Amino acid sequence: MDKLKFLSTMTADEFKAQHGITKLDIFRNEKTGKSFVAWGNEYGAVYSKYPVEPLKEPMMSEVETSEGEKFFLLHNRGEHNATKLQTL
């Protein structure tokens, strides 16, 4: 997958509150082995390291590919090439 542009990011709980839902379900496509997240009639991607690396601090981001495709991505905090060094 090409580099993604992160448009907005929030915690999974903030995402659920904003969308008026109580849960996010994670499924695995048995044909591809890839995981995806679903809520209501919508769905998004789950970061490629799941489930080997569990979601400890789940975040939901709206991302955009270089081709202009937008989708939601469920990932761990800091999964976009940034490591938090300190909180003040």
Query: How far, in Å, CA of 78 to CA of 33, rounded?
Result: 24
Report the chain's C-alpha Rg in angstroms: 13
Q: Are 61 and 8 in contact (CB under 8 A)?
A: yes
pLDDT in tens, 43-87: 999 998 888 888 999 999 999 999 999 999 999 987 555 555 556
**What percentage of the chain exceeds 90 in pLDDT?**
66
pLDDT in tens, 21-44: 999 999 999 999 999 999 999 999
Query: How far, in Å, CA of 88 to CA of 40, rounded?
Result: 37
pTM as predicted: 0.83
What count of residues does the chain have?
Answer: 88
